[in-house]
Amino acid sequence: MTRVHIVGAGLAGLACAVALARRGIAVSLYEAAGQAGGRCRSYHDARLGCLVDNGNHILLSANRTALSYLEEIGARDSLTGPAEAVFPFYDLRSGAHWVLRPNAGRLPWWIFCAARRVPDSRPGGYLAALRLAGAARDATVADCLDPSDPLWERFWEPLTVAALNTNPQEASARLLWLVLRETFGRGGAACRPLIAREGLGPSFVEPALALLRRAGAEVRFNRRLRSVEFAGDRAVQMSFGDEAVGLGAADFMVLAVPPAAAVELLPGLQAPDEMRPIVNAHIRLPEPPRMPPGMSAALPLLGLVGGLGQWLLLRGPVASLTVSAAAAAVEEPVEALAERLWAETAQSLGLAPAPAPPVRVVKERRATFAQTPAALDRRPPARTAWRNLALAGDWTDTGYPATIESAVRSGRAAAQLVTTI
């Protein structure tokens, strides 16, 4: 009987395992860490006294595969978000508030409506997106759009950094176009922001592990794959240091680890080789905040410009502030980051700046690969040179930015490959 050995229990590995286990295929899942979830996880933080995520994760209603994964594991209702696409923003420098409200349908009439778009912007600034559509393969976002346009700082830069975790000066124009086509291009109905109500673990990880347990899958933590042995065009053995696992003639292996780990394990594999960091500060608020315009219990999210933090998310007593494409911030001491990000949070939510509350800073140095034109050419497909070995991970060639959507797509693609070979 076939057994599929999946290495890496991030969302790519979990999505692959769930897809296979649901088809009645025997699955073993091996994870180097002591918990599943990888770059999308929750943990109990002793300083703050509650569950926090490694970093804020935002989905859009356009992320169909991620949503269908949640449906599959019975956790679709664990996301929360507004009924319409609404993005409240606050400018830390000028104190200006605005709410971006794309209309639901495909025809983007919202760009002609001053109350729905960025203040002082013009419809032409949004239509400049069409330049991304025709961008050359090696073009960056900054090559195609005008950094002196008022929309640059309040729309294009935050959008690029949020979607690609890469500065517009180096981010792929084509990849941003794909994001726009899938989201704004399909109308506001595809742009509704969605967040995990209780946390990433309760939404994306624990229900998947429960499903796998019910299906009889083997899930093993603290198992770091050290090497793979090959014979001809097949992988025949996995070594975890103190344990070797042989692959039978009918067995498969799915490698769902980050790119650097995959490159070490597979000879000759080409993969994106530059990563970009994300920094998050989780702050236990001293008092309930004053919700800025557009922010609500259904949408506890605020976009920020003019400072260090870019997105602020409220969950219970904790405010979490995200800094994406954080190459400079990640080198700052955590105490300095905590101070700066608390000051921005206090200003945004109308809270007294002193005394400073407990803050936890989480630095994810390798949050996603740098989504540059050159890196896109290095994304490998799920299929490898070995007949019984497939790849998965947000960095593989899903066509999507390195996101939950990409991770889940890759996991499902690997599962599909395994069942059709």
Ligand X SMILES: Cc1cc2nc3c(=O)[nH]c(=O)nc-3n(C[C@H](O)[C@H](O)[C@H](O)COP(=O)(O)OP(=O)(O)OC[C@H]3O[C@@H](n4cnc5c(N)ncnc54)[C@H](O)[C@@H]3O)c2cc1C
Residues that bind ligand X (CB under 6 A): 7-13, 30-33, 38-40, 54-55, 57-59, 224-225, 256-258, 261, 278, 280, 364, 367-368, 393-394, 402-407
User: How far is Cα 413 from Cα 407, in angstroms, rounded to an integer?
Assistant: 10
The nearer residue to ligand X, 345 or 410, going by C-beta atoms, is 410
Could you tell me where the DSSP H helices lie in 23-99?
Answer: 64-72
- Cβ(277)–Cβ(337) under 8 Å? no
The nearer residue to ligand X, 56 or 348, going by C-beta atoms, is 56
Helix or strand run (H / E) with residue 390: strand 389-391
The nearer residue to ligand X, 25 or 60, going by C-beta atoms, is 60
User: How far is Cα 415 from Cα 396, in angstroms, rounded to an integer?
Assistant: 14
Least spacing, CB of residue 40 vs ligand X, in Å: 4
Least spacing, CB of residue 312 vs ligand X, in Å: 13
Least spacing, CB of residue 350 vs ligand X, in Å: 25
User: How far is Cα 70 from Cα 205, in angstroms, rounded to an integer?
Assistant: 10
The nearer residue to ligand X, 288 or 381, going by C-beta atoms, is 381
Least spacing, CB of residue 160 vs ligand X, in Å: 14
Give the contacts of 66 (CB within 8 A, at least 6 positions apart). 59, 403, 404, 405, 408
Tell me the sheet residues that pair with 361.
281
Tell me the sheet residues that pair with 254.
6, 390
At residue 42, φ and ψ (nearest 5 deg) are -115, 155
Rounded to 10 deg, the angle between the 404-420 and 11-22 helix axes is 40
Among residues 161, 213, 202, 187, the alpha carbon closest in space to that of 327 is found at 161
The nearer residue to ligand X, 303 or 393, going by C-beta atoms, is 393
Least spacing, CB of residue 91 vs ligand X, in Å: 22
Least spacing, CB of residue 53 vs ligand X, in Å: 8
The nearer residue to ligand X, 30 or 144, going by C-beta atoms, is 30
Tell me the sheet residues that pair with 359.
283
- Cβ(131)–Cβ(168) under 8 Å? no
Least spacing, CB of residue 164 vs ligand X, in Å: 11
User: How far is Cα 51 from Cα 45, in angstroms, rounded to an integer?
Assistant: 6
Give the chain's length.
421
- Cβ(187)–Cβ(102) under 8 Å? yes
Distances (CA, A) of 336 to 3, 91, 359: 50, 21, 11
The nearer residue to ligand X, 66 or 145, going by C-beta atoms, is 66
Least spacing, CB of residue 15 vs ligand X, in Å: 8
Least spacing, CB of residue 352 vs ligand X, in Å: 28
The nearer residue to ligand X, 224 or 290, going by C-beta atoms, is 224
The nearer residue to ligand X, 206 or 364, going by C-beta atoms, is 364
The nearer residue to ligand X, 141 or 326, going by C-beta atoms, is 326
Question: Going edge to edge, which strands form the sheet with 359-369?
Answer: 97-100, 87-91, 301-305, 311-315, 318-323, 275-284, 359-369
- Cβ(84)–Cβ(101) under 8 Å? yes
Least spacing, CB of residue 360 vs ligand X, in Å: 13
Alpha-carbon torsion (404, 294, 121, 346), positive or negative: negative
